[in-house]
Structure 1
Amino acid sequence: MVTLLFIILLVLFLINVPIAIALGLASVIIFALQGNIPLVTLPQRMFAALDSFPLMAAPFFILAGKLMEHGGISQRIVDFAKSLVGQLKGGLANVSIVSCMIFAALSGSASATTAAVGAILIAAMVKEGYSRPFASAVQAAGGTTGIVIPPSVPMVLYGVSAGVSVSALFIAGILPGLLIGLSLMLTASILSHLRGYGAATTGTSLAQMWRAFKRSFLAMLMPVIILGGIYGGIFTPTEASVVAVVYGFLIGWLVYKQLNLKVLRKILVESVVTSSVILFIIATASLFGMILTREQVPQSVASWFIDSPLSPALILLLINVLLLVVGTFMETIASIIILTPILLPVVTSLGMDPIHFGIIMVVNLSIGLITPPVGVCLFVASQVGKSKYETVVRAVLPFLLMMMINLLVITFIPEISLGLLKFTD
């Protein structure tokens, strides 16, 4: 039955059936053929999968990210980043990545990060002499930090799927996110130097940096409040997501005055659509996971790896390859929901901490955001930057290579992910 399940799923994918519907339809067909479970119980199972307090954080962080995107915060973040690194060789490329890192700590979404910062900086980079495909590629690569630097919607979903602390995942994502961001900046600087992009400018004075910081202070305060509140035990990640929504709304409406009824309507519609898609995938994936559990697929996969003559290091490499391939063809949220129950028993049998594996999975799938054919950040950056998709794909390859190097480092040096957790125990 498991083989038939995957065959049906593959056929549905090939004929472009949406992932959520494909998961649900394939599962219902298998349950109907088995005939040992009343189909009336399946909607109850789907509802139970969504009846989770930690899961509520996902739609609220999505809404908070939309408020950040449309509430006037993006420009202030860009101005502050420009005051920090704009004077370097290839300065605007570095400004783009630093802005993405800061916005990532507000939104928890890669596509929102790419769109919000790219709408400002891609055109500015082109005006300063960068090629349009390179400017779009820098933005796409920088946008991937949106799901690695906390808060992160995929981390919330992994935490729910794996039954681990979302707060611990957020703490574990800080150093990997910084590592990826700094290495992308290094790559952008080297390429800018080799290609003569963005001549270095005169240094920014402390007074200019201070003015930019004051102008962006309320925006920069948001991650301090949200992450500080979580790590300080003041509120849970779910409660933090609600605080983020309220704070983002008040800043965008009362302070920056960028929000009005028309903009709010657009924000709410986009947030509802995005959240509905994610929650529908989770609901139908619960049926898919129910079949895998009944057929003991996770246990069989774990036993195969344990009994195989492969070394733990080689097994981890194979798992990384699998995640990279899956991330290339499947959306991040669906990949986490489907693969976590299968792969988690394997890595825990090897002695890997589930928190560490969660970071590895998120970093893997963030690479999928800039890998064709389903590279979401590539599509967003090419659309915002008005570049041909194939030219952006070619331009992003050096950044893709750097992220794969980062993945190996994060995989085989657990302290990068787990080091900060030792100070919070």
Structure 2
Amino acid sequence: MTTALSVLALLLLVAMGVHVAIALGIIAVALMLFSFQIPPVLIAQMAWGSIDSYALVAIPFFIFAGNLMSRGDLALVILNLVGSVIRVFRGGVALALAASSVFFAAVNGSSVACTVALGPAAVKLLPKENYDVRFSAALVAVCGTVGLMIPPSLTFILIGSITGMPITDLFIAGLLPGLMEVMLLSFTTVWISRLRGFGVKQDAPDWVTFRRELPRASGALFMPVLIIGSIYMGIFTPTEVSALAALYALVLVLLVYRTAGVGTVWDVGKQSVMQTVMIYGVLLGAGLLTALLTRLGLGSELTAMLKAADVAPWMFLLAVNVLLLFVGMFLDGVSMIVLLTPILFPMATAMGIDPIHFAVIMTALVEVATLTPPIGLNLFVMSRITALPIHAIVSGVLPFYATRIVGLIIINAWPALSLVLVR
């Protein structure tokens, strides 16, 4: 009864416009003080413990590096570089956008940051080559979601810090599923472009443009190699790599490309601090709520119910997919992860599902949530960039939902895709 009332109160506060972090804190602190008589000092210690993690130090550094790399015309340079070669296909520039999303995903680890980085350049370039603006906006929103799967994913950092799983393993596990998602998006992009006659097709690759743009783009293109290579070879931990990535991005924008000055760096720093505080705020509130749910024994009760009902693992995964697709309509990705990870992971483990595989599944579901109205963040980002209404972007995204569902099915049904590099 207490759990049901708590969930109802939380939904009511969120519906009233209270931020998720504050709503979580209010519910958890009120129950701890009045239902369990926990001293305020102990509550404060619990809250601090939820963010007192070495792994979480990587979050502000990766956010800062991603925000820096989003400044300037870097996305346009990379799009022109890749597009000069693959314009031989119908929809080549759109295909170049899908390929470029791998780069920006490997730089910032955030879906929204990836969308912000690609959006202005794509909306500037694609309509000039006979692409519909609605399709261009939808494509950027969809490609931006890859930032949550390909390392360094902030979602994996959160899951690892909550569950205690090695973040390096999670990063490596997300690599192949992320590339598979990009391949599916690329096939869909080419199919839609051919069906609707989008894009300008070249007779042969433009190697002159490629050779001209490659030296300029090489500094930025090395950044994903630095991040993923250092982690995969065990040279640095994810937290150490995040600091290195921030320093490397600072050198690139200040000295190499000169797309930002000291004032811009200061503004990016303030923006990154605000984004980090938002994430940490949700973690604080969720940490208290998790401690409360542990005292209530909710996780143990749900796990016992699953065992008693003799639920098959595939049925559990189907229920999780449906649940998170629904919840993703009303919560952002950070809130989904910090709220549901402490509840779902013990249940998945009890069902015999590999926790790393389950982490990849949850991340894929959060990717879909960023495209799902009414809260889909990528939709709002592209609406702001293009000045298109949300419903117009949603209609452009519709063909890609089927692609996303296919990707979800593959990730759920084929654990080896997530585990082969880790094992």
Q: TM over 0.5, yes or no?
A: yes
The answer on 1:174 being equivalent to 2:175 is yes
For the Cα contact (< 8 Å) 2:328–2:369, is it kept in 1?
yes
CA distance, structure 2, for counterparts of residue 304 and residue 37 of structure 1:
29
Q: Residue 323 of structure 1 aligns with which residue?
A: 324
In the TM superposition, what whole-angstrom CA distance separates every residue of 1:286-305 from its partner, at most 9, and x where no partner exists? 11001111111111112222
With over 3 angstroms needed to count, the CA separation of the structure-2 counterparts of 1:257 and 1:263, relative to structure 1, is same
2:17 aligned with 1:25 = no
**Counterpart position of 2:94:** 93
1:237-256 to structure 2, matched below 5 A, reads 237-256=238-257
Cα distance between partner residues in 2 of 1:27 and 1:115 = 34
1:312 is matched with which residue? 313
- C-alpha contact 2:313 2:353 (8 A) present in aligned 1: no
Residue in 1 that maps onto 2:132: 131
Alignment of 1:397-412 (within 5 A): 397-412=398-413
Cα distance in 2 for partners of 1:101, 1:390 equals 27
Distance in 1 separating the partners of 2:88 and 2:57: 42
> Counterpart of 2:224 in structure 1: which amino acid?
P
> Shift in Å at residue 309 of structure 1?
4.2
**1:367 equivalent in structure 2:** 368
* Structure 1 residue ranges (4+ consecutive) displaced by more than 6 angstroms after TM superposition: none
Amino acid at match of 1:111: V
Asked if structure 1 preserves the Cα contact closer than 8 Å seen for 2:368 and 2:404, the reply is yes
Unaligned runs of 5+ residues in structure 1 are none
What is the TM-score of this pair, normalised by structure 1?
A: 0.96
Q: Whole-Å Cα distance in 2 between the matches of residues 146 and 80 of structure 1? A: 20
Quick check: 1:187 aligned with 2:175? no
Distance in 2 between the 1:30 and 1:122 partners? 49
Match of 1:143 in 2: 144
Kindly indicate whether the alpha-carbon contact (under 8 Å) linking 1:72 and 1:256 is maintained by their aligned counterparts in 2. Answer: no
CA distance, structure 1, for counterparts of residue 81 and residue 369 of structure 2: 29
- The answer as to whether partners of 1:328 and 1:372 remain within 8 angstroms in 2 is yes
Q: CA deviation at 1:283?
A: 0.9
Measured after TM superposition, the shift of residue 206 of structure 1 is: 4.1
**Contact conserved, 2:81 with 2:209, CA < 8 A, in 1?**
no
SS of the residue 2:311 aligns to: coil
**Contact 1:136–1:392 under 8 Å retained in 2:** yes
In 1, Cα distance between the equivalents of 2:267 and 2:276?
14
Q: Deviations over 1:374-419 (max 9, x none)?
A: 1111111122122111011111011111111101110110011111
Which residue of the partner structure matches residue 302 of structure 2? 301
| Structure 1 residues 238-294: Cα deviation after superposition (integer angstroms, max 9, x where no partner) | 000000000000011111011212211220111011000000110111110011111
Letter in 1 for 2:47: M
Where does 1:112-131 land on structure 2 (aligned, <5 Å)?
A: 112-131=113-132
2:422 maps to which residue?
421
The corresponding residue for 1:390 is 391
User: Which residue is 2:70 aligned to?
Assistant: 69
Report how many aligned residue pairs link the two structures: 422
The 1:372/1:131 distance shift into structure 2, 3 A limit, reads same
Opposite residue 11 of structure 1, the aligned amino acid is: L
User: Does the 8 A contact of 1:123 with 1:385 survive in 2?
Assistant: no
CA deviation digits over 1:207-231, x for unaligned, max 9? 5434333221111111111111111
Change (3 A) 1:388 1:40: same
CA RMSD of aligned residues (A): 1.4
Q: Which SS does the other structure have where 2:150 is aligned?
A: coil
Give the Å deviation of 1:202.
Answer: 2.6
Q: Does 1:211 align with 2:230?
A: no
Cα deviations by residue, 1:66-114 (Å, 9 ceiling, x for unpaired): 1111155323322222134233211221122111121111111111111
On the 8 A contact 2:131/2:198 being kept in 1, the answer is: yes
Amino acid at match of 1:175: L
Q: Which amino acid in structure 2 is aligned with residue 139 of structure 1?
A: V
Does the 8 Å contact 2:79/2:93 carry over to 1?
no
In structure 2, what is the Cα distance between the partners aligned to 1:100 and 1:94? 10
Corresponding letter in the other structure for 2:12: V
3-state SS of paired residue (2:329) = helix
Choose 166-175 or 201-210, whichever is displaced more: 201-210
- Structure 2 distance, partners of 1:207, 1:213, is 10
Matching of residues 225-264 of structure 1 within 5 Å: 225-264=226-265
Between 1:66-75 and 1:343-352, the stretch displaced more is 66-75
Q: TM-score, normalised by structure 2?
A: 0.97
**Structure 1 pair 28/41, CA: closer, same or farther in 2 (3 Å)?**
same
Cα separation, 2, equivalents of 1:56 and 1:77: 29
CA apart distance, 1:16 = 1.3
Report the identity percentage: 36
Structure 2, unmatched stretches of 5+, are none
